[in-house]
């Protein structure tokens, strides 16, 4: 509530949005009353609550001709703290892991918040074999086999189409490997439903489940799925579901609607974001991403309709 009142006063676009909705900020006393800023404003406006200099600007990938989202960050340490604490919450100490990345589409552009995070995770893992693999799949295979022989904890994070390219060339049985897919075919392949995609990847890597992250340019935090497309948030992030026909109304758990995200790491921009994703919240407060609104842009990290 403190962050809401701070941003309602100091984030000009959010302040104007709340004003046009006719919301009395002082009368907002519960999370359920907080207005969520439509994510599209990150394409058309500067969303900032801080007067400090911008340290870094993250941009969405999108496709040719699309207007990119832009997230200006005045304190990149907040982002670093967010993803490091989240990794620790879900997986443990990063220094225990070897971290491999198969992210060709992200590497070949600038402004990716995912690449910023992966660069830092690779560095902080302190393992000599941590690193990127662009299209050198033979090197990746040999590295995975070597890490398996050493019983080394390993995370392989990859863009979906690149992971599929790899498993179509090689079969590897590495049961303890954590494979984390970022979603999206980047126009390289036909889109697939999650069950089919994860079935191919689990068979190809010889593992029981595929992990995923739910994050985007406009957020400084990510939720994680350890399998079956069931996501959980770190402690400073929360997902709420809004009515698809009445975007200012929240709906109860178990029903499908638009995903609203509270991300307290976004203290210097806007912490209350109405995404263009569809989802539902389960009884244990985990959530699922079920697709996107029909008129929404295809995003670089989109997850697919089941």
Give the span between the Cα atoms of 236 and 124, in whole angstroms.
22
Contact partners, residue 122, CB within 8 Å, separation at least 6: 99, 101, 130, 131, 132
CA 182 to chain centre: 8
Instruction: Give CA–CA dist 303/291, Å, rounded.
Output: 6
Task: State the average pLDDT over residues 121-143.
Answer: 94
pLDDT at 305 over 50: no
**Using one digit for the tens of pLDDT, what is the confidence trace for 143-182?**
999 999 999 999 999 998 999 999 999 989 999 999 999 8
Q: What would the pLDDT profile of 288-303 be if each residue is shown by its tens digit?
A: 999 888 655 544 444 4
Kindly report, residue by residue over 95-126, the tens digit of the pLDDT. 999 999 999 877 777 899 999 999 999 999 99
Query: Which tens digit of pLDDT belongs to each residue from 54-73?
Result: 999 999 876 545 788 999 99
pLDDT for 306 equals 36
Q: What is the DSSP string of 92-156?
A: --GGG-EEEEE-HHHHTSS--HHHHHHHHHHHHH--TT-EE-SS-HHHHHHHHHHHHHTT--EEE
78, 113 Cβ separation under 8 angstroms: no
């Amino acid at each position: 509530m403190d962050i809401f009142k701070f941003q309602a006063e100091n984030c000009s676009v959010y302040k104007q949005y709340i004003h046009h909705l006719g919301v009395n900020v002082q009368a907002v006393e519960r999370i359920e009353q907080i207005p969520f800023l439509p994510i599209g404003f990150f394409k058309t406006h500067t969303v900032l609550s801080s007067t400090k200099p911008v340290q870094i600007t993250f941009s969405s990938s999108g496709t040719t001709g699309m207007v990119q989202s832009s997230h200006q960050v005045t304190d990149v340490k907040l982002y670093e703290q967010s993803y490091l604490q989240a990794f620790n919450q879900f997986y443990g100490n990063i220094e225990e892991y070897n971290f491999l990345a198969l992210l060709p589409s992200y590497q070949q552009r600038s402004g990716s918040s995912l690449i910023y995070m992966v660069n830092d995770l690779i560095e902080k893992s302190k393992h000599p074999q941590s690193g990127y693999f662009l299209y050198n799949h033979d090197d990746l295979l040999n590295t995975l086999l070597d890490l398996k022989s050493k019983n080394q904890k390993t995370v392989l994070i990859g863009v979906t189409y690149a992971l599929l390219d790899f498993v179509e060339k090689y079969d590897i049985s590495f049961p303890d490997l954590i494979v984390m897919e970022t979603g999206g075919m980047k126009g390289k392949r036909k889109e697939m439903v999650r069950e089919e995609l994860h079935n191919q990847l689990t068979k190809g890597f010889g593992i029981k489940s595929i992990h995923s992250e739910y994050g985007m340019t406009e957020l400084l935090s990510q939720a994680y799925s350890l399998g079956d497309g069931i996501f959980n948030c770190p402690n400073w992030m929360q997902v709420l579901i809004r009515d698809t026909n009445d975007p200012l109304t929240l709906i109860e758990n178990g029903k499908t609607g638009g995903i609203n995200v509270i991300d307290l790491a976004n203290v210097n921009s806007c912490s209350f974001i109405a995404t263009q994703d569809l989802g539902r919240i389960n009884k244990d407060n985990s959530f699922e991403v079920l697709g996107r609104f029909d008129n929404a842009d295809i995003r670089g990290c989109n997850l697919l309709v089941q």
